Structure 1
């Protein structure tokens, strides 16, 4: 859907737009780096495949300003008891350290894996309510140095 406002800008609402996502990400990275002086270290991924090349699990993350923000971590159901989630998460923490990060953040729905992250030393820093079924988004943090961030008022 496009809303035309004459000869000025037009607003378009539609489905996912990879090109738009890439341009917005690039613009925000430039803005954030200029505002803070902290360079963006980019994204990384971790992928586990089986002998047939099928996806067992994986992780995507971004590092910036000493923070590794885990975007997605998933392991197929039949492989979840094999320790792949832990191995993937530990590999991400190792890569974060290699990139100069001293802390990590991740979010998980209450029905997903907040307890998994807690078992790996992540502490809950907040919740966002309103997820269908009475669930919430749980925000978690882990310091690789043992220090927790101070809360801002």
Structure 2
């Protein structure tokens, strides 16, 4: 059997959905469907401009924060903290275990630690690439 592997640089959403289905089908059969539910939060300033945003999705009982960004001229105003708090509220409302996310060593590890996130993994710095640090926050059962 001959298999050809090619790069698809088109960003074809249908292809991504097909691969997700290939991964999800056996997980669902084992009682652990992925069922990703998206979450997008916007922070808009008084003039209607985008001050920041958060994109996330649920996966296996957790909320995964894919991106959290605040416009440079808005940093230090608590927007990131408010976006993350709203995401945590959403996760609690959905009965999720907690939130996990990642950041690079030059970005915001202290920010997440200050909000109660615990480091749960690292990709080491290598050949000029910075460390990538994973954080998680679980919610109390109470």
When the two structures are superposed, what TM-score results if normalisation uses the length of structure 1?
0.79
In the alignment, the residues of structure 2 paired with residue 47 and residue 22 of structure 1 have an alpha-carbon distance, to the nearest angstrom, of 25
Gaps of 5+ in 1: 147-153
- Residue 37 (structure 2) aligns with: 42
- For 2:74, the equivalent position in structure 1 comes to 79
Residue 9 of structure 2 corresponds to 15
By how many angstroms is 1:38 displaced? 4.5
**1:54-93 to 2 correspondence within 5 Å?**
54-93=49-88
TM-score after normalising by structure 2? 0.84
Distance 1:43 1:71 in 2: 10
Change over 3 Å in CA distance of 1:40–1:134 after alignment to 2: closer
Structure 1, 23-32 or 48-57: larger mean CA deviation: 23-32
Q: CA deviation at 1:87?
A: 0.3
Displacement after TM superposition at 1:58 (Å) = 0.6
2:139 matched to which residue of 1?
144
Task: Quickly say closer, same or farther: Cα 1:34–1:47, change in 2 above 3 A.
Answer: farther
How many residues were matched structurally? 140
| RMSD of Structure 2 on Structure 1 (CA) | 2.3
Residue pair 1:131, 1:137 contacting (<8 A) in 2 also: no
Runs of 4+ in 1 over 6 A off after TM superposition: none
Distance 1:118 1:89 in 2: 13
Deviation at 1:27, TM superposition (A): 3.5
Residues 97 and 13 from structure 1, CA distance in 2 versus in 1: closer, same or farther, beyond 3 angstroms?
Answer: same
Contact 1:33 1:39 in 2 (8 A): yes
> Contact 2:120 / 2:134 at 8 angstroms: preserved in 1?
yes
For 2:46 and 2:12, the matched residues in 1 are separated by 31
Would you say the 8 A contact 1:108–1:138 is kept in 2? yes
